[in-house]
Structure formats: C-alpha cells, structure tokens
Structure 1
Amino acid sequence: MRTRALATTTIGLATTLALTLSGCSLSGGSDKATSKGSDQVVLVTHDSFTLPKELKSEFEKTSGYRLVIRQSGDAGALTNKLVLTKDDPTGDVSFGVDNTFASRALGAGVFADYTPKDLPDGAARYDLPGDGGKRLTPVDNGNVCVNVDTTWFDAHHIAPPATLDDLVEPAYKGLFVTPGATTSSPGLAFLLTTIAKYGDAWPDYWKKLLANGTSVVNGWEDAYTVDFTQGGGKGSRPIVLSYDSSPAFTVAGRSSTTKALLDTCFTQVEYAGVLAGAKNVKGAQALVDFLVSPQVQAALPGAMYVFPVEKDLPLPASWAKYAVQPMKPWTVAPEEIDAHRDEWLRTWSDLVSQ
C-alpha cells in the first residue's frame, strides 16, 4: 500500500512545527547532526523515503560515502524545516520537496546550483518553471486522484462517480472521505485540484462537497486504511482520495477492486537538490546523481509506489495494467501556489470548521 503519504503535519499555517519534528538515521546520530567530514553524506527527506538496502549499499560502495538519512515529516514539513534552517542546514542534500512547495524553498535560497550530467530520458519535462533543473532535479512523479471501490458500487447497483462534479450529487452523499488540506500533502493536492477546476468559485464547490456528507480526516492513512471500504479497516465509505497507483495494490484474482478517477487527478513531482551551505558538496552531488540513475529509477515503483521520471522505463506488470496515469491532470503554477497557499488554506480551514 502507498506509503509516501502516511506522515502528516500541519502545512503552511504552522511552519514552526517543522522544527519540533524528530529525525532518524539509518546510520545513527541525532537530528541536529550534520556531515562531520567527507566520509558521510546526510540526506534530509520526508518520512516515507525508503531505499532498498542493496541500493543504499551500492551507493556507499561506489561513492565512498556513508549515507545518513534524516526524516522530517511529509513534503510540507520537510520544506518548512529546510527554509527555517537554511542558514545552518541539517544535512547536505534533500529529497522530497514537491511541486506544491518547491517555489517556497527556491525563493528562500535553500538549494545550491547543481544539475546531474546524466539525466534520465524525459526528466526535463518535469523541470520547475523558472528553475529549469538548475537547482532541483526531478526524481519521481505520481498523481493524487479520487479512487472508488468498484465492488461496492457493483453490489449496490449504483454507477460510480467519474468527475469532481459528481462528488456533490445526492447519489454519493456520505460516501467520500479525504485527508485534510492542512494536515496532509495529498489533501493539499486535492484542494489545488478543486482550485484548478473551479477557479475563484472553489469555496462554493467545497461548501457543496461538505454539505453532501464528505468526511475530512487527518491523513491519508486514516482515509484509506480506516474509512475506505477497500482499506484494511473495511470502512463504510467507498470513495477516497488516494493515488493513480493505488489500484495496482488492490488486485484480487484477475482484476483490481478499485479504480482511480482520472478526471480528478493532480500531479505531484518530487525533487532532489544540494543544500546551500552543505558541508559535503561532492557527496551531495553524488547522491543526486544516484537518485536519477537507472537502478534507482527502476526501483521506485516497488520502493515508494511512485513513477520514475525516466521515460518508457518498464513498470511492474500490475502497474502497467492498473496504475493508469491521467492524460490531462489538473495543475496550478508553482508561483501561484506560493503566492496564495496560506490564503487558500485559511479559507479552506474556515469552511471545514463551520
């Protein structure tokens, strides 16, 4: 099951929370530790980052650096921490800042210039506008989408929803659960989806959504594994906010029991970059290179349930059949997100609390 969204934290409205999050390391040490020389490289990342042991060993063997991993909440908390510690970074390199937060990190001067020489074919299409891969290197991508339990709708002889408009129809009253926009990165992505779709009228859409019995919970794990009918908790709601890859993990027999609604998706891209002020710049550059290497790109679907940025890379059989990506996902320009994020979150919070 999807792991990259399990960690949740308050986003935008409480940036200082990021400083209180505890970190951990595969090599030991406290969260305040940084590289104490050229023998190790410190990666600051989100809680859902995972690298197969054999790949971690391969990096350490080929680069000569010991990899230390420090985890800092989800993408929002990670970005907040990087900004707040930019003058005294807690590591050398970061992975996990996504396109919804990248403009804030870049504007604060968190990252130094570095572009790998051997980028995967197709990676450039995920470059951030205004950066062009100069500081942030795209590593993976995926889409936050509404998912439905197809078996539930079949059993109840109800046609499942297909669009955002459908979610406010009486037929789906009390059936949808989503993580909150202020408490999870996929929840924020869904808010941005509605903003992209409805423009300035997005608050009116959310009023209808909430009036139709939509449940807003803390994080993705609460929504999917507790409230969703196909989750481990066998909940009561057959519509959930999840990912385009989720149906590849609900395969029973020869078919999947869930489906992503491809008209409801918002693209997330995760980036890696060398931190300005890094103590081990060469080690940081070596790790960015490694994250876009063929072996790591090939491991991403199984390790973190995301799509590699390398074009036409073979995917697991279940992904090729069930993890269908949208042709035209919703998007919001990074600079627009940066300019209005806090305002949108305040408005959203007021709506949900009514």
Structure 2
Amino acid sequence: MPARLSPLRTVIASAALAAVTLSSCSLAGKEEAAKSSPSSAGTTAVPGSTVVLVTHGDFALPAELLKKFETDSGLKLEVRKIDDGLPNQLALTADHPLGDAAFGVDNGAAPLALAEGVFADYQAELPAGASDFLLKGSDDKDRLTPVDHGAVCVNIDKTWFDKKKVEPPATLEDLTLPAYKNLTVLPGATGSTTGLLFLLATMDQYGDDWQDYWTRLVGNGADITKSWSDAYYGGFSGGEGDRPIVVSYDTSPAFTINKAGETTTAALLDTCIQQVEYAGVLENAKNPAGARELVDFLVSPEVQAALPDNMYMFPVATGTPLPEAWATHAHEPSRVYSFDADDLEEHRTEWLTEWRGIITR
C-alpha cells in the first residue's frame, strides 16, 4: 500500500471542527475577545494579537515554519481545522466567521464561497507565475490568492495491468469500453471536489453529451464512492481494493514508489482538470490586518517550497524547487480541462441533480 496521500477536500459532508493552537492563549479568552467589533481594523496588525487560520483537515505545514511566521510577524497563530465540509462551514458562518483567514477552498468550491460573501477584498502580491492560477471566469477572483495547484486525473495501477497483460486506458472515453468493465472506482461529485472536478472535466470534454457519457460510464460498472479516500484506499488496487483505475491526482505517482525506486502507478495526463487551492481574508474577520499578513505568508518562498512534501501539491510560484521524486514521477499535464467559475455557481444544483439521477438509476 502506498504512502498515504492528502485526502480530498469534501464539499457536502457534516463538519467536524478541530482546533490546533500554536500559542498559550486560552479558548475562553478568545471567545470573549470575539465579541468585539471587527470594524476597527487597521492597516497593520497589533503585535501580540492572535490571527486564526481556518483550513481543511489536511493542512500540514511544518511547525518550525509556522513558528517563523509568529516570530517574523509578532503575531500568535492559531490553526483551526475543519475536518469535513470547509466551504460549507465558511458559508454558514460568513457573518460570524470562525477565524480571520481561510486556506484550502479550491476552484471547485470557490464560486460558492464567493457567492456567499465569505471573502473580503484582498489579494496578496503574487509571486511570478501565480497569476496563471487566478479563478477563471469570476468577477471576484481578486478576493482570492492562489497558493498551490495540482490536477485531478485518472490514475492506473501499472502493476495490475502488467500482470494481466492488458493495455491500460489513456482517455476518458476508454473508461466506457468493455475491456475496462468493472475496473474503475471514483469519488462522487456531491461528496468531494475531486469528484466534482472530474465531473466538470467530462462536461468540458463532452459538452451537452456529458449525461450520455456518464450513463455509459456507470453502465460499464464504474464504482462511485463517497470520498476520494474511499476510492483510492478502499477501492483502488494500488490501495486495498481490486480496481486498477481510479480518479486521483497528477502527483499521486510520486507517492507509490517501490523498493526499486519506480512508481507503481501512473496518471493519465490526457484526462486531467486543474485544481487550485486559495487563501483569503474572511469578511467580518476580527483581525483582518493579521489575516492579510498570513495570506502574504502563504505565498512566501519558504511556504511555497514546503508545499510538495507536506501537502502534496505544486507551488504556484515559478521556479520553486521540487523534490527529486516529483521531478521524476509527478508529471504535470500539458493540457487540462477547464470550466467557468460563474457558470458553475449558476448551474451547480442543476448539474448535480442531473448527475445524481444518472448514477442512481
């Protein structure tokens, strides 16, 4: 079984909140302070004040790097993790936010967050290359700062195909062929942005015929799970399952290295859609000045360099060094499927209702 990758960012799930405090402030003190008005925000943060980052359960920057932020900024940092449903929780608490800044809302969930007024009007000064990852098709893209990126792609278990002497698939269309019947497992579009982004990739490929594609995919025995973790670790033969085709990430093969130094999996680079994770200052934040410093920190060279080994995503800053295994095994697609953010927000409910109807027939 490969080293465990960072699981998906769930979209529609019950939210479990866990707080990781990097300072000695008491929770009671923070709750009392939270009663004060956020309207007195200055342009600089008050030294010694606490800034709260709300993020997903997979946030994993090194402790020494977070401590460096505290030392350099003079602020106390609290990382508050939402184990499931980060975008929904941010939307539900927009008037009384759970923190000051947020990280981990991706391009599949960002349109919903922007429509609900989650983020304030701030964007960090972007490093070289980062502007390529601004939210496409959104008038409010300047409220979000791109921090990392990857691609959702079909992955295969090379070992399985080699042993069975079966030619592996290469395209989305291949997954509907009889040769691959009952071999595919993927996360559902209503349970994760990994699954949602895969749905959007098929919509970009097939246009108005996407429903026909999904009818054929489901008819060919595709197994649809609640989450990425369920698909990759539970259903995929590269994990604990028996299906050699899975929807995962372009970086996944860098984490399935065998004793010979070779990866046992591959990402099909003609099946990919871009995923970008964003940071932003929360509207109605108690410490907006501190939040701005925190968002700036997330695109600093030190954080960008730490992303691949710690959060399994590519940095947005051009020229950031990558781990050796990534250079060899984590290949980025030259072309990716795409979607318009405002179009997604307008039609999200309609599309997901149609998709759910197809997979439950």
Common fold by TM > 0.5: yes
Q: In the alignment, is residue 147 of structure 1 matched against residue 155 of structure 2? A: yes
* Closer, same or farther: CA 35–219 of 1 in aligned 2, 3 Å: farther
Please list, as runs of the form range in 1=range in 2, the aligned pairs for 1:80-91 lying within 5 A after superposition.
80-91=88-99
Aligned to 1:26: 21
Q: What SS does structure 2 have at the residue aligned with 1:25? A: strand
User: For the Cα contact (< 8 Å) 1:3–1:48, is it kept in 2?
Assistant: no
Match of 1:106 among 110, 114, 137: 114
Match of 1:10 among 7, 12, 16: 12
Aligned to 1:72: 82
Q: Shift of the alpha carbon at 1:56?
A: 0.9
Aligned residues: 341
Match of 1:243 among 241, 249, 262: 249
Q: Shift of the alpha carbon at 1:63?
A: 1.0
Aligned to 1:176: 184
User: For the Cα contact (< 8 Å) 2:184–2:245, is it kept in 1?
Assistant: yes
**For residues 8 and 344 of structure 2, what CA distance do their matches in structure 1 show?**
23
User: For the Cα contact (< 8 Å) 2:11–2:88, is it kept in 1?
Assistant: no
Q: In the alignment, is residue 291 of structure 1 matched against residue 286 of structure 2? A: no
Identity among equivalent positions (%) equals 51
Q: Shift of the alpha carbon at 1:265?
A: 0.7
Structure 1: 5+ residue stretches without partners: 12-16
* Closer, same or farther: CA 344–29 of 1 in aligned 2, 3 Å: farther
* Closer, same or farther: CA 85–142 of 1 in aligned 2, 3 Å: same
- What root-mean-square deviation, in Å, do the aligned CA atoms of Structure 1 and Structure 2 show? 2.0
Structure 2: 5+ residue stretches without partners: 37-45
Q: Shift of the alpha carbon at 1:4?
A: 3.6
**For residues 9 and 123 of structure 1, what CA distance do their matches in structure 2 show?**
25
> What amino acid sits opposite 1:150 in the alignment?
K
1:169-214 deviation line (CA, Å, top 9, x unaligned): 0000010000111111211111111111111211111111111111
Match of 1:49 among 48, 56, 59: 59
Please list, as runs of the form range in 1=range in 2, the aligned pairs for 1:267-282 lying within 5 A after superposition.
267-282=274-289
Q: Shift of the alpha carbon at 1:107?
A: 2.5
* Closer, same or farther: CA 223–68 of 1 in aligned 2, 3 Å: same
Q: Shift of the alpha carbon at 1:272?
A: 0.6
Q: Shift of the alpha carbon at 1:98?
A: 1.1
**For residues 117 and 18 of structure 2, what CA distance do their matches in structure 1 show?**
23
1:208-260 deviation line (CA, Å, top 9, x unaligned): 111111111111111111221111x2x21111111000001111213211100
Aligned to 1:209: 217
User: For the Cα contact (< 8 Å) 2:111–2:138, is it kept in 1?
Assistant: no
* Closer, same or farther: CA 169–33 of 1 in aligned 2, 3 Å: farther
Please report the TM-score for the alignment, with normalisation by the length of structure 2: 0.89
Q: Shift of the alpha carbon at 1:64?
A: 1.3
> What amino acid sits opposite 2:234 in the alignment?
V
Q: What SS does structure 1 have at the residue aligned with 2:354? A: helix
Aligned to 1:262: 269
Q: What SS does structure 1 have at the residue aligned with 2:122? A: coil
Aligned to 1:14: none
User: For the Cα contact (< 8 Å) 2:53–2:101, is it kept in 1?
Assistant: yes
